[in-house]
Structure 1
């Protein structure tokens, strides 16, 4: 495929819009139920023009093509900042592909239109006409309620070039241009097909498309050049002018300190830009002079805040050496610059804002007097253009005519609060990538990443939906199908599912664990009462050694499926670490008891207080299978030069703390060494001991790299525990923990930056030091039972957790060291399946299929919401298993489309890629939950032989629609010619898609 887009002819565009709206109820995939109309009669005024919304796409990928602009308008954009043009255009523009990476903060290497300047002009004029048509045809407004703003760069010579000059003049008055007259002629010939748009409406369309312009100056553009261009645009072109300012005006130190403070310390700046770019003082002087010039010309002049920030490519986000950063990480910088400039001009400075604007801050931005507001990053994320409507509705009540000045106090407060706003802190997104290690299927790709991300593959969307409907018993039955410790995991699971949730790319993960807890509290007791023990279906018996979550998982699953199981443990109670170590403030005894009753009532037998010396050969005389699940209780290695006798092991401490209800004296000053969840538990428990005053967590890296879950870290910090970062303990002397100060170096194999010693020594007062750096398994148990070990001292096992001793398994911590509870449950499930398979028994892990309300799900797309602590949280679930379509949402060009197809598919919803509308920006590949790229891996519709030849995509080119003749690249890559209904040379699935296009979507061909 080519990375060059093919513009859609105006007549085809009209046909496409009319047909899709009539037959599918949508336009370029935007459903008519989402079309925005401002019924408040409020508006803003800019440059003498009224707009029913102050919002729109920033000059960028979402304002490059006609269809992009239409999609933006339909969803609520009324200020359309057209993509920047420059003298260097078309194929001469050096853009490496992919060129967009908006996974969290956004990066791009694409700074102006990839079309030629004349092509860009044609696209904008086509869009100008079509917005007028749609405005009337869809009853969105009686009078024009939108405006276009052109954007140019990057030096005066280029702007004065014949090509760019013709563009500017054409946008000022397009009446004499070829495309203008062509569009009018086409509309006249189609007039009979419109219901509301009339010839009178056509005649009213103004040819003065853009009375305003934004100057987008490239980083490094000399200050005097910027001012020359500004004067030229004001004096020579008589245009209202915005001058785009760069974040570099704030200075390298401010920018770097901001990133470090907010968790973006991995972003590497390029000092050259801070040296060469316009300086703040010079910028203020320039603005004053240009404002004076504009006033004399009876024009308006303001600033566009801000340009993107150039940063070095050091983490492989995109190809090349430098990229441009935008998105939520840019907001604190942009609003801070706005605050400084507004103060300089006592509020009398028109600001066009674009720097991390999104649903969570757009209202705040607008309330301080800033208008208009544009955005790019937020609508490049899942939900796409549909995010705009919610923003437009949010600011409707504040629309109040023309610019009246910036509220200095308000913008200063907004700038100050931005540094603490969770929606701009890196910590809000706990994972780098949500991707699954699965290949993208050609067909039927909708998937629930939460379910795949869960080690036991729970049916999360299903039980979340049922909890939302208060059908707790049904929800719990689905949970219990795959989860043997529902109460425990509803309380302290590390919720891998939430790290895969699609809503991480909206706002925050669905609170899946909390939804499970609601089901547990409302239904588990009743479920336990109603359990009917399964009949024994086999004469084989299983012994499980260790009554922790992993062992009990294997036991319950096996017993439920008809196998007799006995669980043995050296202690008097089940659940090991959960019962004896994890503090009561993390999980109550009542929740643990629920799950034990669940296992007992299923018919599992128990033997507590058994001898620790397990002899597997002796066991196998009575039992046919043995599952070892004894956990990891041995102390980790203490790496201190001296003073080891002053150290308390975290597990031992936590066990004593739980036994004594915290009635312990550790002294006033307590240090915990470690960065995992056990360290957090130890610190919080230590804080609750009798005389504790100062509790510190000592960690050799920074908070960002701690393995503990973010919520556990925050809970510890909220309780007054101090985190001492970049310190490596060396010894203990005279009640002081002696540490070497560290610094972060290059990344190690774990992906974290390696701590490097600086040689500087600090001492921390420590009456007690608690060591929480990982427990070990009892490998002696394996050795004496002649189980073969690997080089790390763990049992050699196959994919089903079976050791080299037949019918002997290891699960949970015993497998590879300390593991999460849910991974232990997953091991038990795996062992159960293997034993059942060996015995020729079926299992009951089949998934329950629930009906879904697709209309209800579609209404949630693009809607941002903060988590709720109730059943209403289910409304945030996007039910990705049924409707994903992320690649459709995030494509600015609408190149990925959903078609409704009949045939041998799991779902009627199938994704097809339209080659001619794609520029290979790569954004769909960033957000697709699979490791593939939809623009390469999905079935592709080609518009020309040339594009087909230039591609390796599986897909088709319709050569003769009437005859059904197509050229097809099959799933295996073979190219064939095919006539529908004749020789069976292509798959049924491919044939169904081609038939669907010819019969139902021929306007796309």
Structure 2
């Protein structure tokens, strides 16, 4: 695939990013894509390696290697190389419902498993994907294609995040009548309110939702299953119900003073900013603002980085990001060889912006909050940090990060954002549908399937697997849709 010597003839070229100090002036996406002609040259770098781990999508040593959607990457890279973007779109769409999302927010597991990456730079698969989908929209190819035959079967999908949208898209194309219920005011779930605009502008979501509506899917917003919507009514009205409500129960960081004003969960903070941007001009007091504040972000993952980037755009006085674990190595170790996911240090866009503005990396490793301190009015004014060290538990043999006595340090802080991950599905939803849970409070599937313990109720995405990536949620939704289709029809051609 591609040009046989392309990986030798051409160097990897990526879209140009605006300088950090320039891009923090607004919340727009900040990469300038290559021209289609230049992107085609990048397609030429795909080397027909014989064993394309880029599309493998299975676990190696507990980490996913390659695309969980099993995208036919060498095939559409070849089509990009030849400038045939229309056929590349149809090839891509065979396995991927939402390349407009994954080409923006996915960490590119495909590229980390690219054979070119063993000794050189991997193929720019993620940007090739973005070029394909944007070409398709520009040229009217990614248009609505309603199913020609309807089955008469009705399906309710609860939640409009990536897994819910994937379930809905697949089942609608099969001919079932699909209604998606979303508890927020707009469709998208964490795509809309958990991922900031500079990574995924919300018009990209609206564009795809409009196509899905034109294809016959019904979206109902401000509809909260378990509260405003009764589970019994849904299971009675529909032939199948699919729960795709996410793992939206956030992990807390409890310490003395936790009740101080100025401590928020990361998604609440990001949601607040997105809603303010939706409303165009919202008074500062009507959203959680980091302007002029010393901010502590607890958590070193993607959501923590998104908080850092958002705070930079607010105009924070200072931003510090805490990570309990040690800093990863700069390069792969011998125990982390290709094609495993590389467990190496990554400096993301938010951290780049903090470095540009403040002159240093905002991350502090092996550190956590020991105490939140508040003033007489209950407002947060500082936090006490403590350093951590790894100690082996003599009973279990596990390494635990334990506080180092005497390492405490008090720092000014008026805003804490907790980005420490999620603990599973929300109780009121699972209680309403009376579905069984696993030990991690995720909705359990029968015998490894997506069917729950309740007849005709299914589950997919983070609600089923626990917190994960957008691309994995889409893959989950596709697999679940096939099971629902088999349940409804006795067989499936999905």
TM-score, length-normalised on structure 2?
0.74
**Could you tell me how far apart the structure 1 residues matched to 2:363 and 2:479 are?**
39
1:610 equivalenced with 2:208 (yes/no): no
The SS at the match of 2:328 is helix
Closer, same or farther: CA 637–802 of 1 in aligned 2, 3 Å: same
Paired position in structure 1 for 2:475: 826
Paired position in structure 1 for 2:52: 448
Paired position in structure 1 for 2:389: 743
Paired position in structure 1 for 2:185: 572
**How far is 1:685 from its partner?**
0.6
Determine if contact 2:106/2:470 at 8 Å carries over to the other structure.
yes
The SS at the match of 1:703 is coil
**Could you tell me how far apart the structure 1 residues matched to 2:192 and 2:329 are?**
29
Paired position in structure 1 for 2:21: none
Closer, same or farther: CA 682–548 of 1 in aligned 2, 3 Å: same
After superposition, residues 748-827 of structure 1 pair within 5 angstroms as 754-759=400-405, 760-776=407-423, 777-798=425-446, 799-827=448-476
1:719 equivalenced with 2:391 (yes/no): no
**Could you tell me how far apart the structure 2 residues matched to 1:828 and 1:738 are?**
43
After superposition, residues 281-430 of structure 1 pair within 5 angstroms as none
Closer, same or farther: CA 815–619 of 1 in aligned 2, 3 Å: same
**How far is 1:723 from its partner?**
1.1
Paired position in structure 1 for 2:151: 538
Deviations 1:184-235 (A, max 9, x none): xxxxxxxxxxxxxxxxxxxxxxxxxxxxxxxxxxxxxxxxxxxxxxxxxxxx
Determine if contact 1:700/1:728 at 8 Å carries over to the other structure.
yes
The SS at the match of 2:219 is strand
Determine if contact 1:666/1:767 at 8 Å carries over to the other structure.
no
Paired position in structure 2 for 1:699: 323
Determine if contact 1:455/1:822 at 8 Å carries over to the other structure.
yes
**How far is 1:754 from its partner?**
4.5
**Could you tell me how far apart the structure 1 residues matched to 2:398 and 2:329 are?**
6
After superposition, residues 528-607 of structure 1 pair within 5 angstroms as 530-607=143-220
Determine if contact 1:797/1:803 at 8 Å carries over to the other structure.
yes
**Could you tell me how far apart the structure 1 residues matched to 2:436 and 2:167 are?**
22
After superposition, residues 564-963 of structure 1 pair within 5 angstroms as 564-612=177-225, 613=227, 614-645=229-260, 646-661=262-277, 664-690=289-315, 692-704=316-328, 713-721=347-355, 722-733=362-373, 735-745=381-391, 754-759=400-405, 760-776=407-423, 777-798=425-446, 799-838=448-487, 839-844=489-494
**Could you tell me how far apart the structure 2 residues matched to 1:708 and 1:527 are?**
38
**Could you tell me how far apart the structure 2 residues matched to 1:594 and 1:489 are?**
15
Closer, same or farther: CA 693–712 of 1 in aligned 2, 3 Å: farther
Closer, same or farther: CA 705–535 of 1 in aligned 2, 3 Å: farther
**How far is 1:488 from its partner?**
0.9
Deviations 1:765-819 (A, max 9, x none): 2121111111342122112322122232222203331111122111112113322
**Could you tell me how far apart the structure 2 residues matched to 1:625 and 1:843 are?**
18
Closer, same or farther: CA 823–529 of 1 in aligned 2, 3 Å: closer
**How far is 1:531 from its partner?**
3.4
**How far is 1:633 from its partner?**
3.2
Determine if contact 1:524/1:594 at 8 Å carries over to the other structure.
no
Closer, same or farther: CA 711–822 of 1 in aligned 2, 3 Å: farther
The SS at the match of 1:447 is coil
**How far is 1:651 from its partner?**
0.8
The SS at the match of 2:348 is helix
Determine if contact 2:305/2:348 at 8 Å carries over to the other structure.
no
Determine if contact 1:667/1:768 at 8 Å carries over to the other structure.
no
Determine if contact 2:182/2:220 at 8 Å carries over to the other structure.
yes
**How far is 1:680 from its partner?**
0.4
**Could you tell me how far apart the structure 1 residues matched to 2:311 and 2:195 are?**
13
Paired position in structure 2 for 1:219: none
**How far is 1:529 from its partner?**
5.9
- Please identify the structure whose Cα radius of gyration is greater: 1
Determine if contact 2:308/2:351 at 8 Å carries over to the other structure.
no
Determine if contact 1:528/1:597 at 8 Å carries over to the other structure.
no
Deviations 1:857-910 (A, max 9, x none): xxxxxxxxxxxxxxxxxxxxxxxxxxxxxxxxxxxxxxxxxxxxxxxxxxxxxx
Closer, same or farther: CA 712–543 of 1 in aligned 2, 3 Å: farther
**Could you tell me how far apart the structure 1 residues matched to 2:89 and 2:345 are?**
25
Q: Bigger relative contact order, structure 1 or 2, given CA contacts below 8 A and separation 6+?
A: 2
Closer, same or farther: CA 783–790 of 1 in aligned 2, 3 Å: same
**How far is 1:631 from its partner?**
2.0
Closer, same or farther: CA 458–598 of 1 in aligned 2, 3 Å: farther
After superposition, residues 195-344 of structure 1 pair within 5 angstroms as none
**How far is 1:823 from its partner?**
1.2
**How far is 1:537 from its partner?**
4.2
Q: Which has the higher helix share?
A: 1
Deviations 1:353-383 (A, max 9, x none): xxxxxxxxxxxxxxxxxxxxxxxxxxxxxxx
Paired position in structure 1 for 2:81: 468
**Could you tell me how far apart the structure 2 residues matched to 1:700 and 1:468 are?**
44
After superposition, residues 91-106 of structure 1 pair within 5 angstroms as none
**How far is 1:597 from its partner?**
2.9
Paired position in structure 1 for 2:20: none
After superposition, residues 26-45 of structure 1 pair within 5 angstroms as none
Closer, same or farther: CA 464–537 of 1 in aligned 2, 3 Å: same
**How far is 1:552 from its partner?**
0.8
Determine if contact 1:546/1:629 at 8 Å carries over to the other structure.
yes
Determine if contact 1:667/1:767 at 8 Å carries over to the other structure.
no
Question: Would you say how many aligned residue pairs link Structure 1 and Structure 2?
Answer: 404
Determine if contact 2:54/2:73 at 8 Å carries over to the other structure.
yes
Closer, same or farther: CA 667–529 of 1 in aligned 2, 3 Å: closer
Closer, same or farther: CA 831–513 of 1 in aligned 2, 3 Å: same
**How far is 1:710 from its partner?**
7.0
Deviations 1:468-490 (A, max 9, x none): 22211111112222222210111
Closer, same or farther: CA 726–686 of 1 in aligned 2, 3 Å: same
**How far is 1:696 from its partner?**
0.8
5+ residue gaps, structure 1 = 1-32, 35-385, 391-444, 845-1005
5+ residue gaps, structure 2 = 11-48, 58-66, 331-340, 356-361, 375-380
TM-score, length-normalised on structure 1?
0.38
